[in-house]
Amino acid sequence: MEKLIGINPVTEALKNKKDIEYLEIFKGINEENVKEIKELASKANIKIKKTDKREDNTQGVVAYIRDYDYYMDLGEFQEKLASEEKSIVLILDGIQDPRNFGALIRSAESFGVSGIIIPERRAVDINETVVKTSTGAIEHVPIIKVTNLSQVMEKLKKLDFWIYGAEADGAKYYYEEKYPKKTALVLGSEGFGIKDKTKKNCDILIKIPMKGKINSLNVSVAGGILLSEISK
């Protein structure tokens, strides 16, 4: 059995009717903070257990679920994209840190991203930390896990997507580009960037200007900046 932790993630899971076995709420918690959670749980006939033990980083609220069933089938996602007049797709090429993944999901939801594509291997999977860091956004953004990013990028191009890769040595600054209605953004892994094979399938590489002594940004910060511009 898996765990969801934190007030916002648990609230969003309840609203989206996730398959929750039961809730565990710390006895000393401020009742006003969990009022909505209790109301939603009551409507769904989900049992609430009170506990004297408060685990770290849970905000005193834990939901126990059967599994992290957040993935959308690629074929279903392609149908979704084909029906949309304007779409942004985020492609993550080997993100390793679950906190970065969760933060990117949160940014993606905020900027109207249609879905996030991740590789099946050599990348972080959805786990307790990812879900908590997303603060509930994971309930609203489809995640698509694929075996071959390059093949999926070719499929996106057939759906009229223009694919941008974020690299320090990109050909253009991100704000110089006029982004089309169908845009995909590729972000590489922490420390290594976009893999060469993935990079070759990008239509153009863009960069963020750096004016300080540190020549790189955290990938989740960079993703938020770029998505903000693309979504305009």
Q: Where are the domains of the chain?
A: 2-65, 74-230
Q: What is the pLDDT of residue 3?
A: 86
Please tell me the pTM assigned to this model: 0.83
Which amino acid would we find at residue 117? I
The single residue listed with the structure tokens 């590789």 is 119
- 58 CB-near residues (< 8 Å, 6+ apart): 5, 6, 26
Average pLDDT, the chain: 93
| Start-to-end CA span in the chain (Å) | 41
The model's pLDDT over 119-161, given as tens digits with 9 standing for 90+, comes to 998 899 898 899 999 999 999 999 999 999 999 999 999 999 9
Q: What is the pLDDT of residue 74?
A: 96
Task: Note the CATH number of domain 2-65.
Answer: 3.30.1330.30
Task: Note the CATH number of domain 74-230.
Answer: 3.40.1280.10
The more confident residue out of 66 and 71 is 71
- Cα–Cα dist 206/162, whole Å: 13
Same fold, 2-65 and 74-230: no
**Percent of the chain scoring above 70 in pLDDT:** 100
Q: How confident is the model at residue 54 (pLDDT cuts 50, 70, 90)?
A: confident
Report yes or no: 202 and 179 within 8 Å, Cβ to Cβ: no
Class of residue 178 by CB neighbours under 10 A (exposed 0-12, middle 13-18, buried 19+): exposed
Q: Assess whether pLDDT exceeds 90 at residue 25.
A: yes
Q: Assess whether pLDDT exceeds 90 at residue 19.
A: no
Q: How confident is the model at residue 181 (pLDDT cuts 50, 70, 90)?
A: very high
HEC assignment per residue over 98-164:
HHHHHHHHHHHHHCCCCEEEEECCCCCCCCHHHHHHCCCHHHCCCEEEECCHHHHHHHHHHCCCEEE
Instruction: List own/partner pairs for 78-81 with CB under 8 A and 24 or more apart.
Output: 78/155, 78/159, 80/114, 80/115, 80/142, 81/114, 81/115, 81/156, 81/159, 81/161, 81/182
Bridge pairing between strands 143-146 and 182-188: unpaired
